[in-house]
Amino acid sequence: MAYKVCIDPGHGGSDSGAVTGKHVEKTYNLDTALSCRDELQRYGVKVVMTRTTDKFLSLEIRCEIANQNGCDYFVSIHHNSGGGDRGEVIYSKAEGKGLQMAHKIAKEMKVDMGQTEVKEYKRLNKSGKTDYYAVIRRTNMPANIVEICFLDNKKDVEIADTLAERKRNGKEIAQGILKHLGIKVDEKGGEDMVDKIVLYHGDADVFAAIVVAQKHKCPMMKESDFKISGLKAKEVVQIGGKSEDANRFQTFKNAAKLL
């Protein structure tokens, strides 16, 4: 049976969370969480998101979403503030699987996210009897809160200040969860790597690219889009844009050699 994991991007809507200059926690949390979801789904894990848009949700509702969906695990994604320099993973006083998952996530943060220090801990209310954080206390399943880095620490925020980094961070959190679930993780490959791709330079090269891509049974893309896509290919077949391609006829002649 497939595992079901609730991913909770902290804050949202009127509640921005921590804000330092251009770094807005609710947005960073969502960017990271969506990537985390995608990576988990790639391995067949069912994901329940508390939010996928910029909207406000109470802590109670977040817990209810996880509880009512019968999730096996709950992971809330945050970015910290208050001038520290580290990541944090918080687990419940029940420890057990929540503690084990925290270890796995913290390890990914250190090894693959470049977070120098990750503090793993539980925090109890003054009474010492219940968990301090509502999303850990009110959820019925093992739960972690992940604080990726401090937004108000110039050095620490460097691991999350671009969208590409936040996507990576989400992927790494997912890989920590997957490893905890005993699912084998393909660290390097995955959806960003294709065997072969045809890249065309300009719109005049599209037709030649279609023919070549069909022949090679591989996807095709505009060269400029490929450069910003983050995709990688083991083999690139280039159509047009080379110095010998003086015009589209020459491009087609060159493309014909690839058929």
- Residues 3 and 46 sit within 8 Å (Cβ to Cβ): yes
Alpha helices (H) in the chain, listed in sequence order: 25-42, 59-68, 96-111, 134-137, 163-180, 206-216, 223-229, 248-257
Least distance from C-beta 9 to Zn ion, angstroms?
10
| Distance separating alpha carbons of residues 145 and 166, to the nearest angstrom | 16
Q: Among 7-15, 190-198, 225-233, 244-252, which window interacts with Zn ion (CB under 5 A)?
A: 7-15
Position 78 contacts Zn ion (CB under 5 A): yes
Least distance from C-beta 205 to Zn ion, angstroms?
47
Q: Among 5-13, 33-41, 118-126, 134-142, which window interacts with Zn ion (CB under 5 A)?
A: 5-13
Least distance from C-beta 71 to Zn ion, angstroms?
20
Binding to Zn ion by CB under 5 A, coded x per residue (else -) over 14-43, reads ---x--------------------------
- Residues 37 and 9 sit within 8 Å (Cβ to Cβ): no
Q: Which residue matches tokens 């997957």?
A: 178
Position 142 contacts Zn ion (CB under 5 A): no
Closer CB to Zn ion, 17 or 240, in the complex: 17
Closer CB to Zn ion, 15 or 186, in the complex: 15
Q: What is the dihedral of CA 16, 22, 27, 31, to 10 degrees?
A: -160
Q: Among 2-10, 49-57, 174-182, 191-199, which window interacts with Zn ion (CB under 5 A)?
A: 2-10
With CB under 5 A as the contact rule, the residue among 7, 8, 9, 10 that binds Zn ion is 10
Residues identified as active-site: 147
Distance from the Cα of residue 38 to its chain's centroid: 7
Position 98 contacts Zn ion (CB under 5 A): no
- Residues 220 and 241 sit within 8 Å (Cβ to Cβ): no
| Distance separating alpha carbons of residues 60 and 137, to the nearest angstrom | 10
Least distance from C-beta 90 to Zn ion, angstroms?
11
Least distance from C-beta 148 to Zn ion, angstroms?
10
Q: Record the tokens describing residue 179, joined without a space.
A: 């490893």
- Residues 14 and 58 sit within 8 Å (Cβ to Cβ): no
Where do contacts with Zn ion occur on this chain (CB under 5 A)?
10, 17, 78
